[in-house]
Every structure is written in C-alpha cells, then in structure tokens.
Structure 1
Amino acid sequence: MTDKTLFEPYTLGPLTLPNRIVMAPLTRNRAGAGLVPSEHAATYYSQRASAGLLITEATQVSAQAQGYQDTPGLYTQAQIDGWRKVTDAVHDKGGRIFVQLWHVGRVSHVDLQPNGEAPVAPSAIRAATKTFVNNGFADVSEPRALALDELAGIVDDFRQAAANAIAAGFDGVEVHGANGYLLEQFIKDGANVRTDAYGGSIENRARLLLEVTAAVAKEIGADRMGVRISPVSPANGISCSAPQPQYDYIVDQLSALGIVYLHVVEGATGGPRDVAPFDFDALRSRFQNTYLANNGYDLDLANTHLNAGKADLFAFGRPFISNPDLVERLEQRAPLNALDPTTLYGGGAKGYIDYPTLEISSAN
C-alpha cells in the first residue's frame, strides 16, 4: 500500500479527473454586456484546465438572482453562447468544467434588480453585509419575503439554467447552497422565520434546496451535479441555531438523491476552520458519493485529510487566481505567485489572465 496523493486520477461519475485538485468557484465581476462572460473568460478558465475539475464563478439562474455587479448569467441565449466559448476552450485543453448556479436572494441591491425592485428572501430580514454595485461596495437592500406561489418558479429557474449549462457544453453543474445566498437563507433560521411549509422545522427549511436539487438531477442527471453547503460559515450575515441536526438531515437527503459530489465549506468561508463546533466527519460518513472539502487547504493538509479518509477531492480558491498552473506548482512544490488584491473584482486582463506560469517564469 502506498499513500494516496492529490496527483492521482479520480473517477467522478462519468468523468475521469487526472488529479484530486478542484478549482473553487471565484467571483471576478468581469461579465460584459448582457451579463455574458467576458472576452477573456475562455482564456482565464483554459489557463487553469490542468485542475482535476474547474468550477466556475457563481452564475445567476435569472435576472432576479443577481446580487453583484457584472456577474454572469445562464438564462439567455447570448449567455449560453458566451459560456460555450469557455467550455470549448477548456475542453480543447483537456479540462473538465462545471458551472456553479446561484440565486443570491437578499444579498443584492435594488440597482441590480429588474425594475429596481426589492431583492427577495425567505423572510423580510435584511442581511448584515455589503455587495459590489456601481463600482464600489454598498449595504445590501431591504428584501421582501417570497410568496409561497413564487417558489416553484425559483426551482424551475435552477432547472432551466442546468439545462442551459448542458447546452453550453458544461460537464455538469454545482448548485450553490452556501455562503448566505438564497438556498441557505431558507435553510438557516437566522434568515428564515416563515410559518408555512418552507419554514420552522428542519425538514421545512431544507425543502427548497432539496426541491432544487431533485429538479436539476431529473433534468441533467444526478451524476452530473454537485451541491455546495457551508454549515457554520457566517458569510453574508447568516446564522443557524442548531447546524448539526440541520445538516445531518440535509446530507442524508442529498445522498439519497444520488448527486455525484457534496462540496463542503469547512468553517468560515475564507476564514478560520474552527469558527464554530461542528462534526464534518459526520457529513462525510453520511454521504455515499464524493466528498469535496473546501477552506484553508494547502498541499500538506489536503494530503493528510485524503489519507485519513476525510475527503476525496480538495478545492483551492484564491491560489488559482494568481497561479494558473497551480497543480504543477503544488506537485513540484514550487513557489506561488503573489495575489494582487486590487484586481480581484472587476477590470480586464490585468490580474485575470496575465499571471505567469512556471514555464514563462523559467524562460525569462
């Protein structure tokens, strides 16, 4: 027996990944007119195609689902065509790519909403967070509570966006049920005080996420979809009084639906792993398919957790921004490029497609 490593192949549903390293979804706010992926997006993603799997930046399922300036959509033909250029470029490099689908819910601003309407949420509770709008950060707007008869439309928006993703050439989709966005707003009682079938009990608060997951799985196949969750992350002002039983239930249901992977933010998104007590090993044991671990991983921690059986795949986020060849750098234990934080959100090629690879660096 030899130790497992991140650099061995892995079978994910119908896909064979060349390694266990996943590029996490990373919002870059560079979509063009009509919220179509920018002219540089195909280059950006194809530069990173050596990852075992690429997961795109979060992509809205409808006009109402937008919460940040210049984030792409997947609900118009122009957007589908724009994403097709990205998937073709990635596949030409031998890569595999899923799109992350989101509805931000209350994490939005009236200036981003159709006709300047209020953002929607499970309950009319404003989030204690900011969004990126009008080329700067601003407090999110006061939301309105979704009516019961609107929820089937939300489910169908996710279903249709998943169908559009396949039409755009994606290998699959990830449903964004994390980080304080709409599906998690329903899950967590700090944002959901409804008294109907979508509020109150653990089962009721999980209902919308599970309905979305079932609809997407029926549309494109459970073996072509994953779901992202963040049980204890306080991202975007979200909170839950009892996350362990809530997420034990959710993961049992997601496992029964047969989705190909569960993407788990362990701890606070982009912050401490030990932000709150939680047994992530319990989720791992409850989920029958691939467990994708996220948050604060480096090569050594990932290999340690892999060999302890704690996860199958590992997501790396910001290191992929400044290191398009992150897989090769990790394998060679080569130095990493420094990240330019001033180019994270918005802009053009600078800080997006101009970070050097090892090949380029050694040639200079």
Structure 2
Amino acid sequence: MTNTELLTPYSAPTTHGLRLPNRIVMAPMSRHRATDDGTPLPVVADHYAQRAGAGLIVTEGIWPASGGQSDWRIPGLETPAHIAGWRAVTEAVHGAGGRIYAQLMHGGRKGHPLARVDGDLPAGPSAVLVPGRVHVSGGRKADPVVPRAMTRDEIHTAVRDHVTAARNAIAAGFDGVELHGANSYLIHQFLADNTNFRDDEYGRGSIADRIRFAVEVTRAVADAIGAHRLGLRLSPGNPQFGMAEADPGPVYRALLDELDGLGLAYLHLTDNADYPALTDLRPHWHGTLIANVGENGDPTTREAGEAVLAEGLADLVSYGRAFISNPDLPERFAVGAPLQEIDAAHLYTHGAEGYTDYPALERELVSAQTSTST
C-alpha cells in the first residue's frame, strides 16, 4: 500500500463543508453521451458509478438552458426528462458510495445553430468569433459562426437560467453544483480581454465591471441552493479556444476578494505555465481549494498531486484524463498499479465503448492471469 496524502480523508473547516473519504476529485470532462435533446443516456449512470471511489465527482459540463448549449449531444438540466436522466445518475453514484456535483456550463459565444436544440445563434459578451470547428448534429463538424452580443436582458436571463438549473440539479439528487467559469465558457468570456469589448457595466470600464457577471451569477445561485452546495471553477490565463488574458492576476484577485466570504463549497482552480494561479490566488481564498495542474499539459500524475498538497497550495486535486481509462483511480494510486491507456477513438462517440468498458484493477489482473495461463 502506497503512503499518499491524496488518499487521506478531507473535512472542510466549516459546519456544512465537504466531508470526503479522499482528496482525489474527478474533473469535469465532456463525453457527448446525451440524446439529441440533451437527456443523459443510461450508460452515463454506469460511467459515473464506476468512478464513485473518487472523493468527489464533478460531472461533464451541462447546459443550464438551451441558449447555453455549446455542442451537439452535450447534456442539459432544463427539462423534466433531463432531471429524470440525471436522477438515475445520482442514484447510481450514491448507491456506490460516491458524491457528485453537477457542473453548469453555459457556452456563451461557443456553439452553432446546428448544434443546439433551439437552433438559435449563440450569444456572448461581445460578437467575437470562436476559433475552431464545432460538433453539430449528425456527428459532423462545422465552421464556427459569429455570435451575437448579449443584451442586458439576456445577461439577466442567463443568471436566472443558472439559478433554475441549479435548483433542478438539487431536485435530481446532486450533492451540489459547480459553476463553469473557466476554459472559454460564458463566465470566462466576461473575464477575458479579447471576448469582452462591452462599454456598459459588464464590460471594460474597470475590473469591477469585468467581474460583475461572475459575481452576480455566483451570488444568485448561492442564494438559491446554499453557498455550501456551490463550487466555482476558474482557469486564469487559459488560452483554450483563443482566449487571451494579458494580466489575469488583478482581475482574479478582485473576483476572489468579492466571493471569498460567501462560504462556497470550494474553488476549483487550474494552474497555468504563464501565470502561477495557485501561488498568486491561494492567499485570496480561505475556503476549500481544488487544484488542477494538468490543464493544457501532460496528465496529472500521483506525484504531481502529492506535490501540490505538500506545498499547501490546495486541499484537493482534480484528475481528468486519468479517470477516463481508470475508473478505480484511487485504488490504483493506493497500490501503485499502472494506469491504463485511453481509447482515443471513442472519446466522443455515444455508446459504452471507450466509456464504461475499462476494467477495474481486479478484473484487469484476473484477465491478465487468465491470458498467461492459456
């Protein structure tokens, strides 16, 4: 058995804070296993239940309303069918002894009329094209379209949509909700330099304007479901999908100073080679902090996670790619077992292959022994 702090229990210092059996978090990862209308397929319940050994699971990004759908077959949390589909997931995870948060992911400018159930043009803070092709209906890819700039009314609607979806998540049995403020999605678009050219109170006039939407949606959802059931993911300086933040430090320090006292369940923070977010922002966050140190780089190893904890930069560490092909990742870390490779050909298909057919350690060993003896 490997001696590792990652496998020690975690208890937040607040009364209603997280109580987890280990410090390994399954990071959110889109896998496109939903129906055309955004209802999670039955296989999704199996997938997350297999990974219930994580201290905490954060789901793939889920659109809060059809106007926030970014890609085809991304799941939603808007309709009764969505809620029922996710209830099957939470019941499976809880039945396996796990804990699971729903990540609400509003695409903002990301999307395409052919990828969305409402067929509408996407809208973000400003009418700025997102680079790269888009997954659209029928499994095709299409060139991006120039989004609309959101009106003030649409911004306020987006806040309300997050609140409604968060309530739907609790109704579906989730233990909590994570707001996706990272990786080029709507909240990040308001924060970044090159996706927010507004000249109103949500725009470039000051840092207070730039962080306004993030603060409003976080406070609104916290009021609706309880701050102790709400997390926030941020990725300062993340260049994915053409995002640019020349000097993220002042913006994110101001944002955390606004939110630190709310009593959120956690902050989920990705580090960046050009901006050491964990080092810079840790002093501005006094609650639970989940670190992700593999974004845009090599997958996070057990040793890398241990180093983050040892340096006091975070309380928990999230793992993404390692959980795709290793449903029993904490167990493998505990015994020092090798990790399995990802079936890249089936990352974004729609069935069990490359999704729920990765063997757990015991089955893998039995299979290997059988092969050796024959």
Matching residue of 2:281? 283
Distance 1:60 1:322, change over 3 A: same
Deviation at 1:127, TM superposition (A): 1.3
* Residue of 210, 213, 221 corresponding to 1:208: 213
Residue ranges of structure 1 left out of the alignment (5+ in a row)? 268-273
What's the TM-score once normalised by structure 2's chain length? 0.92
Matching residue of 1:198? 202
1:341 lines up with 2:344 in the alignment: yes
- Aligned-partner Cα distance in 1 for 2:74–2:277: 33
Residues 179 and 231, structure 2, Cα contact 8 Å, conserved in 1: yes
- Aligned-partner Cα distance in 2 for 1:277–1:294: 14
Matching residue of 1:271? none
Matching residue of 1:235? 240
Matching residue of 2:181? 177
Deviation at 1:4, TM superposition (A): 6.9
Matches within 5 A, 1:318-333: 318-333=321-336
- Aligned-partner Cα distance in 2 for 1:32–1:298: 33
Partner-residue secondary structure (3-state), 2:5: coil
Matches within 5 A, 1:214-233: 214-233=219-238
Residues 233 and 269, structure 2, Cα contact 8 Å, conserved in 1: yes
Residues 190 and 240, structure 1, Cα contact 8 Å, conserved in 2: yes
Matching residue of 1:265? 270
- Aligned-partner Cα distance in 2 for 1:138–1:240: 27
Deviation at 1:279, TM superposition (A): 4.5
1:118 lines up with 2:121 in the alignment: yes
Distance 1:81 1:146, change over 3 A: same
Matching residue of 1:147? 151
Partner-residue secondary structure (3-state), 1:283: helix
Listed one character per residue, the Cα deviations across residues 120-147 of structure 1 (whole Å, up to 9, x for unaligned) are 0111111123322231333321100001
Listed one character per residue, the Cα deviations across residues 223-252 of structure 1 (whole Å, up to 9, x for unaligned) are 111000010110111112321101111111
Residues 31 and 71, structure 1, Cα contact 8 Å, conserved in 2: yes
1:51 lines up with 2:58 in the alignment: no
Which 4+ residue blocks in structure 1 deviate beyond 6 angstroms?
none
Distance 1:90 1:74, change over 3 A: same
What's the TM-score once normalised by structure 1's chain length? 0.95
Partner-residue secondary structure (3-state), 2:60: strand
- Aligned-partner Cα distance in 1 for 2:95–2:36: 26
Residues 4 and 307, structure 1, Cα contact 8 Å, conserved in 2: no
Residues 278 and 291, structure 2, Cα contact 8 Å, conserved in 1: no
* Residue of 351, 354, 358 corresponding to 2:357: 354
Partner-residue secondary structure (3-state), 1:6: helix
Matching residue of 1:256? 261
Matches within 5 A, 1:127-142: 127-134=130-137, 135-142=139-146
Matches within 5 A, 1:31-70: 31-70=34-73
- Aligned-partner Cα distance in 1 for 2:259–2:301: 28
Residues 4 and 334, structure 2, Cα contact 8 Å, conserved in 1: no
- Aligned-partner Cα distance in 1 for 2:134–2:234: 20
Residues 125 and 195, structure 2, Cα contact 8 Å, conserved in 1: yes
Partner-residue secondary structure (3-state), 1:128: coil
Residues 21 and 51, structure 1, Cα contact 8 Å, conserved in 2: yes
Listed one character per residue, the Cα deviations across residues 318-362 of structure 1 (whole Å, up to 9, x for unaligned) are 110101001101111101111011111122010010001111012
Q: Give the number of equivalent residue pairs.
A: 355
CA RMSD in angstroms, aligned pairs only: 1.4
- Aligned-partner Cα distance in 2 for 1:342–1:181: 25
